């Protein structure tokens, strides 16, 4: 009997597709196919109800107005997403998608937007935007190397006592308090664009392993070259910035 295809869901790409986050879906499908495993990319259009039978749900970044529209659609499908997670589905949420996993987002004008409440987190708009390369040291339990990505967001996300971050920020801002993202059972939230999965093949394989189990090796020469290049650039910039701030402080 042939294996059933892994269904990779790209949620509301018209609204949550900033900075090429579609590349996360393409990466997951391709990494499965290169291992001889069937995979299907399922796009869930804005306005449609989320199916509860997908294996992976991908939420990307979005600007303010599209994020509000996406939030309305996601809240309407919260029960479907909850059932999918209870059945073993995986969730990766980036930037605005990550913010929508929490309880609410508070804008600078005081307006508040309810999220899904799937993780214990709240986001508040900051005084300026966090822009640039990011390096994150993941929680050791995940068994991942340093993660690289690009951020462009105004939100500052605070995790509640029931939530754990994806990792510590080495370069950049992340949540705005020394850590980036959130991790839970079969769920990752992060501020890392890039897209994050082409930049970090080990993270992509971790998500896939939560669905299909242990994965065999594939040739990652090109993805690892990209990852190394971006890590080197970000870490070099981080050292320069640290040295500059130190000189300013010392006068």
Distance CA 243, CA 103 (A): 38
Whether 15 has a pLDDT exceeding 70, the answer reads: yes
Band of residue 251 on the pLDDT scale cut at 50, 70, 90 = very low
Distance CA 67, CA 100 (A): 8
Instruction: Find the catalytic residue in 130, 153, 173, 193.
Output: 193
What integer best gives the mean pLDDT of the chain? 92
**Three-state SS for 128?**
strand
pLDDT of 110 reads 82
The side-by-side arrangement of strands in the sheet containing 90-94 is: 39-44, 6-11, 56-59, 90-94, 187-190, 182-184
181: left (phi over 0), alpha (psi -120 to 50) or beta: left
Domain ranges in the chain are 6-250
Q: Could you tell me the pTM of the whole model?
A: 0.92
Integer-rounded Cα Rg, in Å, for the chain is: 18
Whether 104 has a pLDDT exceeding 60, the answer reads: yes
Question: 6-250 belongs to which CATH class?
Answer: alpha beta
Instruction: Find the catalytic residue in 95, 130, 153, 173.
Output: 95
Q: Is 153 a catalytic residue?
A: no
Q: Is 193 a catalytic residue?
A: yes
**Contact call for residues 166 and 190 (beta carbons, < 8 A):** yes
To the nearest 10°, the Cα dihedral for 146, 150, 153, 156? 10
Whether 247 has a pLDDT exceeding 90, the answer reads: no
Band of residue 241 on the pLDDT scale cut at 50, 70, 90 = low
pLDDT of 239 reads 53
């Amino acid at each position: 009997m042939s294996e059933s295809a892994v269904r990779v869901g790209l949620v509301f790409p018209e609204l949550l597709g900033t900075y090429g986050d579609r590349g996360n879906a393409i990466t997951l499908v391709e990494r499965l196919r290169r291992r001889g495993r069937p995979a299907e990319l399922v796009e869930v259009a804005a306005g449609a109800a989320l199916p509860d039978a997908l294996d992976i749900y991908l939420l990307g970044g979005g600007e303010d107005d599209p994020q509000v529209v996406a939030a309305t659609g996601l809240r309407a499908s919260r029960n479907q997403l909850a059932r999918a997670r209870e059945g073993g589905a995986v969730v990766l949420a980036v930037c605005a998608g990550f913010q929508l996993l929490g309880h609410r987002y508070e804008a600078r004008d005081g307006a508040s937007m309810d999220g899904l409440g799937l993780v214990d987190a709240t986001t508040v708009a900051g005084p300026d935007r966090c822009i640039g390369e990011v390096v994150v040291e993941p929680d050791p339990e995940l068994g991942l190397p340093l993660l690289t990505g690009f951020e462009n967001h105004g939100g500052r996300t605070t995790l509640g006592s029931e939530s754990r971050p994806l990792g510590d920020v080495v370069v950049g801002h992340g949540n705005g308090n020394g850590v980036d993202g959130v991790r839970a059972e079969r769920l990752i939230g992060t501020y890392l664009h890039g897209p994050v999965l082409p930049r970090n093949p080990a993270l992509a394989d971790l998500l896939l392993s939560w669905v299909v189990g242990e994965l065999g090796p594939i040739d990652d020469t090109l993805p690892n070259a990209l990852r190394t290049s971006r890590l080197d650039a970000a870490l070099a910039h981080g050292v320069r910035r640290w040295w500059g701030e130190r000189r300013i402080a010392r006068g």
